[in-house]
Amino acid sequence: MRAFIALELSPQLRETLKTLSEDLRKKRGIKGKWVPPANIHITLRFLGNITGDQEKAISSLLEEVAKATRPIPISLEGLGAFPNPARPRVLWVGVKEGAEALERVHGKLEEGLSRLGFPPDDKAFKPHLTLARFKNPNLEVRRRVHAACRDMGDRPWGEMEVKAIVLYESILSPHGAKYRKVKEVPLGGL
């Protein structure tokens, strides 16, 4: 099973990001591979292919981390691109309030996954939501992404409370990925 650990968005924020994505595509003419609104989430850790035994161990780890974590208020703000707006590969919305708490959760997950034999994540964790990806963006796309990031770099998008950690299966198809919840663990706040 191809899997990842993530945080689900509230319906209100999902709708806000759907509108934002449509505006960026239609009004600003940014061409890329857009993430369907139903698939937008905050990834804590991509796991790759895991076995049934690993799934059970990861589910136990999620319970351990969630039990020790209070619900986390977050706010979404800004528009940016990795590696940067002039050379975009990923267009994202950032997490402002709650980013440090999400980094702590990520750190606990990394420690637990290391104990389970997973190699450390090679990228620094920056809480964000991916809106679009660009394989080889042409000059016009790069200019439009750069302008959008400049114009919306500190715009607030909304708030919510993170109440659970979710283990998802990513099912690949010719029409794109579909995500299935394997395990959802409510945050316990001890």
Backbone dihedral angles phi then psi of residue 57, each to the nearest 5 degrees:
-65, -40
DSSP letter for each residue of 111-176: HHHHHTTPPPPSS----EEEEEE-SS--HHHHHHHHHHHHHHTT-EEEEEEE-EEEEEEEE--TT-
Residues belonging to the active site: 41, 128
- Residue at 156: amino acid letter: P
- CA 43 to CA 188: how far, in whole Å? 20
